[in-house]
Structure formats: structure tokens, C-alpha cells
Chain A
Amino acid sequence: MGQLPIDQVFRDEWGRVLASLIGYLGDFDVAEDAAAEAFAVAAQRWPADGMPDNPGAWLVTTARHRAIDRLRRDRVLAAKLRLLAAEQPGEDTVEVTAVPDERLELIFMCCHPALAIEAQVALTLRAVGGLSTEEIARSFLVPAETMKRRLTRAKSKIKVAGIPFSVPAGPRLPERLAAALAVIYLIFNEGYGDPDRPGLAAEAIRLGRVLAALLPAEPEVRGLLALMLLHDARRDARFDGQDLVLIPDQDRTRWDWPQLTEGRNLLETALLETTLVETAPRGPYLIQAAIASLQADERLDWPQIAALYGELADRTGSPVVRLNRAVAVAEADGPAPALALVDELDLPDYQYWHSTRAELLRRLGRGDEARAAYQRALDLARTAPERRYLQRRIEET
């Protein structure tokens, strides 16, 4: 009874309200406290009085009033804030009618490379995504107290080290954008790799949508969003109970086709732009999205997939990508040339290097070597579904 829409509004508005308050108050903690207070007031009043026409503006206005009241009570703290310097008497009584969108500043602050990557992830989910500390702790399987300390430490570093609340300009933007995209993709993969934590993938997609809306001119942002949508569209078909199902064996009727189409449309427009602008080569997320799109075809175009993996390998220099390319080459040209590519790599600590070798050896009829390689992959496998899959493979080979 009206409970769900408010929760929805809260989560959707949190990042925007918090960003606007940080921009206004110049302090993360003060802004977060004020935002939390405003949301608490809203939770009390809205169910009875109804939701205001512009919930975001209402929340920002309320939070500003609360923050200023509190600062008046705490002059020492106030003296440290840029608020007091900028403040004209009476300004705080003005109603906020349009909330400036400063979420981009917030995202770049949360994904600053001077913060540890786990801190970037947690902070982005908390500040931009509006997840509670407890929710984030549960998602990353750590005690709430640990997550709380991680967030506190990150916020303290932001303040003490002077990590800016701004959108990086000029030559700094591409690398900082790559860092922000990496954080979102990491959140996605945490959820995508584990059938028990589907919330994180959805959260990453939501963050991807926010970033794509804020940076409409960046094909890589849409590339990442397309990539996540395309992968996630297959979520219901990826597991049989707890067991992993590979794409060729997946039940295509269980794919989320509207989402798949959305991903493909995004991909197409982004690809078109990179084709038009010579100076902007296709970035790694766009290439991966193109591969994911091809992988969703009924009849797979393996030579094309292999070529894209080749392009991706050139862009990233990643041995894991080269391994994927070998898998595509196996389908396009047979297991022998693929095995040659795999053996060039030598990744003894990487589970999928062993499992890929095993698969190719099996196809070449080299059963003993295949079983040994499957066994090594099994020794390295981390999740139960993967272990079961490899165990089955050993028995079948």
C-alpha cells in the first residue's frame, strides 16, 4: 500500500540528492547525514500526506534545512565548510525547485583511483546506488561491521586527502572514465557469477544506465551497458538449479528477449558512432558487447567472433582474451590450431586455461591428457557449480 513506490523513489533519488548535497555542503559525511535525515522525514510524512510533486527537490530542500540547522548548532564544524563562506543570510529558506544533477561528480569521486578498489565498489553502491551498508555487506559476503569500516575509511580518505568532487577534464577523463566503468563491471560480475546474488547485476545495470544518461557522447559507456544487458538477458538460462549451462546448451526461450533487443540496439548506435568518428577506436566494452551479441545468434558466426576477440586482444593485451579467441578459433577452424594458440599462452594458475586445453584435447581424442587438464581446472575451481561441471566432464571423457 504505497510502500513500494516510496522505496523505489528513495533508491532512485538517493544518488541525485546526495550528490547535490555534497556539491552544496562540500562535505561527504555532513551531506550523507542530512540526506538520511530528509529521507527519514519523508518516510514518515509521505505515506500520510502523499508524495510531493518533485520528490527530489523536496528531499534536497529538507536536507539543506536540516544541515544548516545542524551547522548553526555546531559552529566549529561549520567554520571548516565551504558552506559558511558562500552562504548569504536567508538563502537557506529558499525552496529548491530544480536539483542540479551532480551524480557524475559523485561517481568520479567514488571511483577515484586513490581509493582501494573494494572501497570504490562499496562507496559507489552506497552513494550512487543508494544501497544500505548492510545490503552491500551481504552482497559481498562480509560482516556489516567490516563494510561499515571500509566505507568510513574511504570517506575519511576523500576528505583528508582532498579527492575532488568534480568531473575530470581533458586528458584525465579517459582513464578516470575507464576506472569508473571498471567499478561498475566488477559489481556486475560479482552478481553475474553467482546465482545467489542476482541483485548486484541488476544494480550494476542501473548504475550503467545512470552513467549512460549522464555521458551520452561516450560510446564506451553505452558499450558497457549493452554488454551487461546482453549477458544479463541470459541469466535465467545460465543455471540449471545450481549448475552452469553453457550458451549452446541454454534454453533460448528462457532468455529475456526485450532486454537482449535493448542491448543490441544500444550496441548498434554506439558502433555506428565509432565508425563515423575515425579518431575514436572501438573500446574494449563495445567489442565485448559485439561478441556477446553475436553469441546470442542461433547460428554462431565463429570466424567473426574470433576476429573480434583478436581485436580485443590487440586493444587489451590480455592473455585471457587470447584464450577466448582460441575457443572461437576452435569452432571456426578446428581444435588443432586452437590448441596451438592455447599452448602459446601458458597460464598454469588460471582455471579456464586448463579447462579450455582439456576440452580441445578431448576433441582431438587425447583422453588421458584431457582428463589430467580437467583435473587441474577442478583443483582451481572456486564455485560449486563449476566444480560439478568439471567433475561431470572428467567422468564423460
Chain B
Amino acid sequence: MQYALLIYAKPGATEALSTDEQEAVHRRYMEIKREPEVIGGASLHPVETATTVRAHDEQVLITDGPFADTKEIFAGFYLVEAEDLDRATDIAARIPAVRLGGCVEIRPVLVNEP
């Protein structure tokens, strides 16, 4: 089964760490990325760089910033090929954001039948 592990980070949580700790967090993310079950993913720039697109009466509307003010910010995701939800949960639980005030949402990926 394919799962997307959607990472929601608490803003400022990583920045509050020491340089050494930040490096350790970064290493953890890279380690997870190298695991055989992880088949894809991306890490995103901060929300300050976000642009939101909407349509209003056929008119495309572009605004600066994220679409919603939320406490946790979508920061990136891993795409994993895992045997079942328990295995996906194991990987998700090791993502540093989980222990830094954020959370990970596990969503099964819709795979189109041939």
C-alpha cells in the first residue's frame, strides 16, 4: 500500500533548537528519506513564500501567503510503500516534527487501477 505521510510542523519549533540539534533533526529527515520503503517526498520552503490561487466568478485570484492560518504548517511529505497502516505509523512516528510540537497525517494514496 502507498501512503502519504503529511508533515505538519509547529512554526518556530526547529528554529528554537541549538545549531547542533537542528543538524541532528535534519540528519533524521535525511535518514528517513533513504529508507527503502520511502519512495518519494518533498520538503517545502516556509509558508511566507506561499502563493494561493483561487477562482472567483471565473476570475483567477492570486494572493500572497497560505490559504489558512493554522497553528501547524504543512512542511512537506514522504511517499511510502508500506505493508500496512501499522508499518506506515512506525515510519511516521520517527519523523522529528512529531516530537517538536507538530504531527503527521497518514493518508492512503489513491492508486488508479489499470
Which positions in A face B, CB cutoff 8 Å? 80, 112, 114, 160-164, 166, 168, 172
Contact = CB atoms under 8 A, between A and B. Distances in A.
Given A160-B108, A162-B1, A172 B86 contact: yes
Nearest to A79: B113
A168 B86 contact: yes
Interface residues of B, number: 12
Contacts of B108: 160-162
Nearest to B106: A161
Contacts of A163: 84-85
Nearest to B1: A162
Contacts of B3: 162
14 contacts: A112-B85, A160-B108, A161-B106, A161-B108, A162-B1, A162-B3, A162-B82, A162-B85, A162-B88, A162-B108, A163-B84, A163-B85, A164-B83, A164-B86
A119 B113 CA distance: 29
B82 to A, nearest CB: 8
A112 B85 CA distance: 10
Interface in B1-26: 1, 3
A114 B1 CA distance: 16
Interface of B: 1, 3, 82-86, 88-89, 106, 108, 113
B107 to A, nearest CB: 8
A172 B85 CA distance: 13
A182 B86 CA distance: 19
A162 B106 CA distance: 11
A250 to B, nearest CB: 45
Given A161-B106, A161-B108, A163-B85, 4 more contacts: A80-B113, A162-B82, A162-B83, A164-B86
A168 B89 CA distance: 13
Nearest to B88: A162
Nearest to B114: A79
Nearest to B82: A162
A160 B85 CA distance: 10
Nearest to A172: B86
Contacts of B113: 80
A172 B93 CA distance: 13
A159 to B, nearest CB: 9
Contacts of A172: 86
Nearest to A169: B86
Residue among A114, A160, A161, A166 facing the most chain B CB atoms (10 A cut-off)? A161
Residue among B84, B85, B106 facing the most chain A CB atoms (10 A cut-off)? B85
Residue among A80, A162, A168, A172 facing the most chain B CB atoms (10 A cut-off)? A162
Nearest to B84: A164
Contacts of B106: 161
Nearest to B3: A162
Contacts of A166: 84, 86
A326 to B, nearest CB: 36
A27 B89 CA distance: 21
Nearest to A112: B85
A163 B106 CA distance: 12
B39 to A, nearest CB: 15
A166 B86 CA distance: 10
Contacts of A114: 85, 89
B106 to A, nearest CB: 8
A80 B106 CA distance: 22
A175 to B, nearest CB: 11
A168 B108 CA distance: 20
Ranked nearest first, the 4 interchain pairs of A and B with the lowest CB-CB distance are A164-B84, A162-B1, A162-B84, A162-B85
Nearest to A176: B86
